[in-house]
Amino acid sequence: LDRALAAKYVQLILTHRRRVAAAQTGMSLPESMRPRVEICDQPQSSFVTATFELPGLKKEEIGVHLTNDGHLTISGDRRPPPFINNTDPALTVYPVKELKYGRFERTIDVPVGLEVKDINASLADGMLSVSWPRAISPSA
């Protein structure tokens, strides 16, 4: 727990330093979006389910990556439609642009030893559901 907290603290400090340096040079940093997530961990269920909010994305645009040290990362790139970035004044103008586009990534902790074959994922209506077993059985 101490190592995890220390690593998070160092990550926050480095991010802050990069932002300060970027502000001093007048450059802006591309921010990675973090999809919202809900994790359902019912004690009576043998599975834990995380549901990620990914509106407008197809399954081919989403990456699901698992590391050996117990991290599950959902990532991808949400690209704007071609007409959004128009420069022709004769085309439609967007006085309000609140939708976010660009790279996204979200990492959550999962049990160490979890394997890809143990994970179930499905995408429906912009919601990615990823389930994994609560208890990991030792590999044979």
Give pTM, 2 decimals. 0.68
Confidence of residue 138 (pLDDT cuts 50, 70, 90): low
Average pLDDT over all residues of the chain: 82
Chain segment 54-68, per-residue pLDDT in tens: 998 999 999 999 988
Please report the pLDDT score of residue 131 as a whole number.
Answer: 96
- For residues 104 and 78, the answer to whether their CB atoms sit within 8 Å is yes
Chain segment 51-103, per-residue pLDDT in tens: 999 998 999 999 999 988 889 999 999 887 776 666 676 776 777 777 788 88
Task: Give the full edge-to-edge strand order of the sheet including 47-53.
Answer: 37-40, 47-53, 127-133, 120-124
| H or E element, residue 90 | none
